[in-house]
Structure 1
Amino acid sequence: MKIQALTFDYFGTLVDVDAGGTRGMEAVLARLGVETARSAADIYLDWDIRNVRLYRGGAYRRYRDVAEAAMRDCLDALEPGVLRNQNPASLTDIFLTHLVESSPAHGDAIPFLEWASAHFPLMPITNMDSDLWQRSRLTRYFEHVTTAEMAKAYKPSQAIFALALDRLGVPASDVLHCSLASWADIDGAKPLGMQVAWINRGGESLGTWQPRPDYEFSDLSPVRDLLQSLRNINLGE
């Protein structure tokens, strides 16, 4: 196997999106003056589930618009009527600002990107809107990105992966895709022939009917070892 380029799921794989999303939900609850026994992390998870269901369950809409619809549903379920005389778009903007700007890099991400950027083209493939991704913390490592907004499709649709491959100009079999999100990325990338390294940070299990990744690691560090091994093999051929 010859790897010519690396692609990534950005939010979750490279940055701790749960931390940013929790901070965002804390800010929304503070703006609304809502006090609840439920944690902000738990409410953020409820929003995330609703958000994914919405963008996977209908025709393409901008991430911002889907996020706002999920926010309405989430907050109404938390406290019916809480959005009366409120601006959901403004609340969603507060939330998304933290989601994209306050999500810190995982400890292994920057060392890996520092090394990998010297050897491979790197490209995130993300379900985020393009302008929101540009506000995230690690954009300096990437010359290009492929977003759902560009493809008018969300992962696991093959449309977004196919667009990324076209923009890279590299055969699918020569791309290693690194991702935390199994349902979005293994399911989307494998049918196109991409190699997949599942970065299973949480020790999750795959569904019975899901395709299996080519590699599974608990963080990004072993991916460097893998790539160095493959380069040595290829150089020796």
Structure 2
Amino acid sequence: MNPKALTFDYFGTLVDVDRGGTAGMAEVLRRLSVETGESAFDVYLDWDIRNVRLYRGQAYARYRDVAQQALAACLDARWPGARKGHAIDALTDTFLAHLVEASPAHADAEPFLDWAAARYPLMPITNMDSDLWRRTRLTHYFEHVTTAEMAQAYKPSQAIFALALDRLALDAADVLHCSLASWADIDGAKPLGMAVAWINRGADTLGTWQPRPDFEFDTLSPVRDVLESLPFTATGEAI
């Protein structure tokens, strides 16, 4: 392996999307005056599961529209009638604003990106609308991004990974993909021939039938060690 570019899952791998999503759900519940013994995180997790099931189980629709459908279903299942008098599109805007803008970088993300940006082209491959991604915190590290909106497909579809490779003008074997989400990124990238570093922040377990990543770490930091141990630079020049 001698990668000429690095690609990333963005939400979860580089930023703590659970924190942003939890803050967004807490604000939605506040606006609805919902009193509950459940944590905002648990409600956010319910939304997240519904959201992923929806975009994986139907023809492509914008992330914002899928998120809105999942939010309405989540709220109606838990608190029927609670959103009466509240526009669901406004609630969705509130929720997504927190999810994309208030998700902080993981502690290891910026040090790694500072190092990598001087050596490799970097590109996120994200299941997100393009305008929402542009509102996130780490966009200044990336000249280019490949979104589900651009590909009209969500990970693990190979369509989004193939588009990213086309935009990088590189073969799959020349790219190392770093990701937290095994089902979306290992399952999508490996069949194309991309090397994958699984950033397993939550000590998750792979399914029996899933392909295995080339590397598994609990943070991004060891990826730097792997890349620094290679005998060639990203441009293929001898060190």
TM-score interval (norm. to shorter): over 0.9
- Residue 145 of structure 2 is matched in structure 1 by 145
The residue aligned with 1:119 is: 119
Aligned to 1:27: 27
Q: Secondary structure at the match of 2:150?
A: helix
Mapped to 1, the partners of 2:78 and 2:16 lie a distance apart of 24
SS in structure 2 of the partner of residue 227 of structure 1: helix
The amino acid of 1:214's aligned partner reads D
1:85 shift after superposition: 1.9
Judge conservation of contact 2:2–2:232 (CA < 8 Å) in 1: no
Between 1:75-84 and 1:196-205, the stretch displaced more is 75-84
Q: Are positions 1:88 and 2:88 aligned together?
A: yes
Q: C-alpha separation between the residues in 2 aligned to 1:216 and 1:45?
A: 25
Residue 78 of structure 1 deviates from its aligned partner by 1.4
Q: CA deviation at 1:232?
A: 4.8
Which SS does the other structure have where 2:137 is aligned?
Answer: coil
How does 1:192-203 map onto structure 2 within 5 Å? 192-203=192-203
Determine helix, strand or coil for the equivalent of 1:149.
Answer: helix
**Does the 8 A contact of 2:161 with 2:188 survive in 1?**
yes
**Residue type of the alignment partner of 1:133:** W
- Give how far 1:81 is off: 1.1
| Residue 178 of structure 1: aligned partner | 178
| Aligned residue runs from structure 1 range 198-213, under 5 A | 198-213=198-213
Alignment map for 1:50-89 (pairs within 5 Å): 50-89=50-89
Unaligned runs of 5+ in 1: none
- Residue of structure 2 equivalent to 1:191: 191
Residues 104-129 of structure 1, C-alpha deviations (whole Å, 9 max, x = no match): 00000000000000000000000010
In structure 1, the partner of 2:164 is: 164
Task: State, as a whole percentage, how many aligned pairs show the same letter.
Answer: 73
Deviation sequence 1:83-120 (CA, Å, 0-9, x none): 22210010000000000000000000000000000000
User: Structure 1 residue 42 and structure 2 residue 42: aligned?
Assistant: yes
- The residue matched to 1:7 in structure 2 has which SS? strand
Matches of 1:95 and 1:62, distance apart in 2: 16
1:207-226 residue pairs with structure 2 within 5 A? 207-226=207-226
2-side partners of 1:170 and 1:47: how far apart?
36
Residues of 2 paired with 1:4 and 1:236: CA distance? 14
* Count of paired positions: 237
Aligned to 1:108: 108
- Aligned equivalents of 2:80, 2:194: Cα separation in 1: 45
Question: Structure 2: which 5+ runs fail to align?
Answer: none
- Following superposition, the deviation at residue 236 of structure 1 comes to 5.5
Letter of the 1:87 counterpart: A
2:12 matched to which residue of 1?
A: 12
Is 1:132 matched up with 2:132? yes
Q: Distance in 2 between matches of 1:226 and 1:232?
A: 12
Runs of 4+ in 1 over 3 A off after TM superposition: 231-237
State the secondary structure of the residue aligned to 1:230: coil
State the Cα distance separating 1:177 from its structure 2 match. Answer: 0.2
TM-score (norm 2): 0.97
